[in-house]
Chain A
Amino acid sequence: MDLSNTHLLDEAVVTTKLDAVVNWGREASLWPFVFGTACCAIEFMATAASRYDISRFGSEVLRFSPRHADLLVVAGTVSHKQAPILKQIYDQMPEPKWVIAMGACASTGGFYDNYTTLQGIDEIVPVDVYVAGCPPRPEALIDAVLDIQRKLKREKSFSVKHTDYKGKLDDV
């Protein structure tokens, strides 16, 4: 359609950028996959329950198959034994995808600075938002979801992210 003729359609058409439309849609329909391993997962349950109600922010469609999800919430300690599982799940998620490291353990290993625990999941997968707390309160997790929403608005909608990221388990 010739753009000079848009007046014929009155106000039924708005011109905008493709990125803006796609991201506007994505923002309120993030589908989280919860990689819940420990105590933080209990606080995730609270976030999903009716008091805090994550669905107010369009993120309640919890998927338990990574192939359906675009937001990975790592809630809990990730041990070395668990690491290849986390990586596999991340790899199975289609682009575009975002990752929240919920809690001290997922972010840095927390106070498990020992032989068992991965010192932060960013050794294995790229992380978009880190949430402090042990465990973080539900409000903090909701804030992280809002952060992801803000972040994705600034992104190119059809680009593959983190192409330069190299995790410890890549190519082994």
Chain B
Amino acid sequence: MTFEIVEADNLYNTILDARDNKGFTLLLDITAVDNLTRKSKAPSRFELIYILRHAEFKDIKTIKVYVKDENIGVTSISKLFKSASWAEREVYDQYGINFIDHPMLKRILNHEEFIGHPLRKDYDIRDAHYCTKAQDMMDELKPALDAKNLDMDEDDLMVVNIGPSHPATHGTIRSLAALDGEKIVAGVSEIGYLHRGFEKSCENHTYNQIIPYTDRLNYCSALMNNIAFSKTVEDMLGVTLPERGVFIRVILSELSRAIDHLVCLAAGLLDMGGQTNYWYFFNPRNDAYDFLSKLTGARLTNSFMRIGGMTHDLYDGWQDDLEDVLKKIDYGISESKKMIEHNRIFNDRLQDISPVSAEDAISYGWSGPNLRASGVAYDLRFAKPYDFYDSFDFDMVVGSVGDTYDRMMVRLEEINQSMRIIKQASKELPNGNICVDDRSIILPPKSCVYGSIEGMMNQFMLTIDGVKVPTGEYYGAYEAANGELGFYIVSDGSGTPYKVKVRPPSFYHMASYPEIIQDYQVADAILTLGSLNIIAGEMDR
């Protein structure tokens, strides 16, 4: 991976130039690396990494800045990209690097009573701090009100707090909305309630040990995270799976996309009072679970992938089971569609609610179905086809208005498209191996382990040391159910990554939420949140 190395003073202008003159309009992620214990010498302890994507979605640009003094830091680019504000806050929280002119530089994932910056290499992973109370968030709401020239007392506003433990927030999200009557005039969101230290945990586990952790990022489609992570590491190793392995991954990945969307729609419609739809959407998901547990041994957290392949091949009779699942999903969505398609309540409550323009969506750093709903035809499976996606016949689903209705309907139709892919892939599934044939990556067969000393040593070394990944830095992107799921991995040549950063689609969707719910009612905001499909595990990591 090549970086453009920039001086801290020139950073702002370089990124401005990249955005305006070179077409890199989508800021994917900002992260940092602490070089304290790195084998290769670096000019400074901290370095910042900016990852941008081109307006045509094929190319990415990575910019690196060596931070001379983390207390001074670099200029914030939150004026250039709406997505930068939260991304910079996270870097500040995790690494303690300052961003000059940032409008609200405070912790985001860790709580306010936390001391230190956990992703620094000299921070002990188990050094926890108790939190005794939730913050009141008025420090963030006040500026949001000031910006609109509003005053709590003079304008007779009321603040409602929603979450973090509220059924409508689907997990652990907290939002504060200032209301004028029923209308939301300003809002702020607080995240981090499900921050589970994924990135720090990665730094002391081998690559294969990280796979169970990836399950729990977007737990509605665990297999997809497995695949995205394994694929990134395989790219670093320079290996590709045999065709059969790739096809199986495609099948499982698309099935995961379908069931992820099913949960989103089930929960979204439940919020609206459409409980019958919940059964129709959730039951086929249960059937998919049956298939997955037969295959992987687990319903939800499958951990089925390995670096360089997967644990085992499909079982005998899988095809019938899978076909049955597809039939049930098809039945579920067609029945549900009958109930909602011409349903006045459904249409009135969703259409023209919180529309997001294509331009805004890009600036927010959106991706996946939410971005496509806003009319932007960006899907990594089309923009940069991997895993033979260019050989399957399926359509990209794109919305027009970008409202809550579009976001839900894009997902509904994507289930159909995923099923099309699954059908083609299962029909054309080639024979052969499922894993790469390389004993430095894949464990030897058990007969070798128990039958020869070499086999046993091989197993032992791979398990204890992990798969050795060549020194380097790499960003791998994958079209997951919620959008571009990226892994930025720094390797120092050992079996444990030096650093892993997830580029979580939900994080950026959530960052935009307080803005897009403005001028709508609380009841609308609940549905908007449902339509964004925020998965806290992936957002907070």
Given A37-B172, A42-B219, A117-B196, A135–B125 Cβ distance below 8 Å?
Answer: no
Which 5 pairs from chain A and chain B are nearest by CB?
Answer: A39-B219, A114-B197, A81-B111, A116-B197, A49-B282
Report if A126 contacts B (CB, 8 A). no
Roughly how many angstroms separate A42 CA and B263 CA in the complex, as a whole number?
A: 9
Report if A84 contacts B (CB, 8 A). yes
Roughly how many angstroms separate A37 CA and B219 CA in the complex, as a whole number?
A: 11
What 0/1 pattern do residues 77 to 112 of A give for CB contact below 8 A with B? 101111111100100000000000000000000011
Report if A155 contacts B (CB, 8 A). no
Q: Write the nearest CB–CB distance from A95 to chain B, whole angstroms.
A: 20
* Contact between B537 and A117, CB atoms less than 8 A apart: no
* Contact between A39 and B172, CB atoms less than 8 A apart: no
Roughly how many angstroms separate A135 CA and B524 CA in the complex, as a whole number?
A: 32
Closest partner residue, chain B, to A37 (CB atom): B172
* Contact between B132 and A79, CB atoms less than 8 A apart: no
Roughly how many angstroms separate A117 CA and B195 CA in the complex, as a whole number?
A: 8
* Contact between B165 and A115, CB atoms less than 8 A apart: no
Q: List 14 A-B contacts (CB under 8 A).
A: A38-B216, A39-B537, A43-B299, A49-B279, A76-B194, A79-B196, A80-B114, A84-B131, A85-B165, A85-B193, A112-B197, A112-B201, A115-B118, A115-B129
Interfacial chain B residues near A172, Cβ < 8 Å: 130, 132
Roughly how many angstroms separate A169 CA and B285 CA in the complex, as a whole number?
A: 39
- The total number of A-B Cβ pairs within 8 Å is 128
Interfacial chain B residues near A84, Cβ < 8 Å: 131-134
What 0/1 pattern do residues 207 to 234 of B give for CB contact below 8 A with A? 0000011011001100000000000000
A51 contacts which of B164, B219, B286 (Cβ < 8 Å)?
B286
Report if A113 contacts B (CB, 8 A). yes
Report if A45 contacts B (CB, 8 A). yes
Roughly how many angstroms separate A39 CA and B301 CA in the complex, as a whole number?
A: 8
Chain A interface, DSSP helix/strand/loop, else mixed = loop
In the complex, chain A residues 115-136 whose Cβ is within 8 Å of any chain B Cβ? 115-117, 134-135
* Contact between A82 and B172, CB atoms less than 8 A apart: yes
In the complex, chain B residues 273-329 whose Cβ is within 8 Å of any chain A Cβ? 278-279, 282-283, 285-286, 289, 299-301
| A binding-site residues for B, Cβ under 8 Å | 34-39, 41-43, 45-46, 49-51, 64, 76-77, 79-86, 89, 111-117, 134-135, 137, 168-169, 172
Interfacial chain B residues near A115, Cβ < 8 Å: 118, 123-129, 197, 200
Interfacial chain B residues near A168, Cβ < 8 Å: 130
In the complex, chain B residues 98-148 whose Cβ is within 8 Å of any chain A Cβ? 110-111, 114, 118, 123-134
Q: Write the nearest CB–CB distance from B296 to chain A, whole angstroms.
A: 14
B193 contacts which of A41, A42, A79, A112 (Cβ < 8 Å)?
A79
Interfacial chain A residues near B192, Cβ < 8 Å: 79, 81
Q: Write the nearest CB–CB distance from B225 to chain A, whole angstroms.
A: 12
* Contact between B197 and A77, CB atoms less than 8 A apart: no
Given A114-B126, A115-B197, A80–B301 Cβ distance below 8 Å?
Answer: no
Roughly how many angstroms separate A117 CA and B125 CA in the complex, as a whole number?
A: 11
Roughly how many angstroms separate A42 CA and B219 CA in the complex, as a whole number?
A: 8
Roughly how many angstroms separate A36 CA and B172 CA in the complex, as a whole number?
A: 8
* Contact between B300 and A42, CB atoms less than 8 A apart: yes
Roughly how many angstroms separate A83 CA and B110 CA in the complex, as a whole number?
A: 13
Closest partner residue, chain B, to A86 (CB atom): B165
Interfacial chain B residues near A64, Cβ < 8 Å: 166-167
Q: Write the nearest CB–CB distance from A38 to chain B, whole angstroms.
A: 6
Closest partner residue, chain B, to A39 (CB atom): B219
B537 contacts which of A38, A51, A81, A82 (Cβ < 8 Å)?
A38
Q: For A39, A76, A111, which residue has the most chain B Cβ atoms within 10 angstroms?
A: A39
Given A64-B166, A80-B130, A135-B301, A51–B196 Cβ distance below 8 Å?
Answer: no
* Contact between B282 and A45, CB atoms less than 8 A apart: yes
Interfacial chain A residues near B197, Cβ < 8 Å: 112, 114-117
Given A77-B196, A82-B164, A114-B201, A41–B171 Cβ distance below 8 Å?
Answer: yes
Interfacial chain A residues near B185, Cβ < 8 Å: none
Q: Write the nearest CB–CB distance from B71 to chain A, whole angstroms.
A: 22
* Contact between B166 and A37, CB atoms less than 8 A apart: no
Interfacial chain A residues near B130, Cβ < 8 Å: 80, 83, 168-169, 172
Roughly how many angstroms separate A115 CA and B126 CA in the complex, as a whole number?
A: 5
Interfacial chain B residues near A76, Cβ < 8 Å: 194
Roughly how many angstroms separate A44 CA and B285 CA in the complex, as a whole number?
A: 14
Roughly how many angstroms separate A76 CA and B196 CA in the complex, as a whole number?
A: 11
* Contact between B195 and A116, CB atoms less than 8 A apart: yes
Q: For B111, B213, B263, which residue has the most chain A Cβ atoms within 10 angstroms?
A: B111
Report if B410 contacts A (CB, 8 A). no
* Contact between A116 and B286, CB atoms less than 8 A apart: no
Sample of 18 further A-B pairs with CB below 8 A, known A39-B215, A45-B266: A37-B194, A37-B536, A38-B537, A42-B263, A43-B299, A46-B285, A80-B131, A85-B134, A86-B165, A89-B165, A114-B196, A115-B129, A116-B195, A116-B197, A117-B128, A135-B300, A135-B301, A168-B130
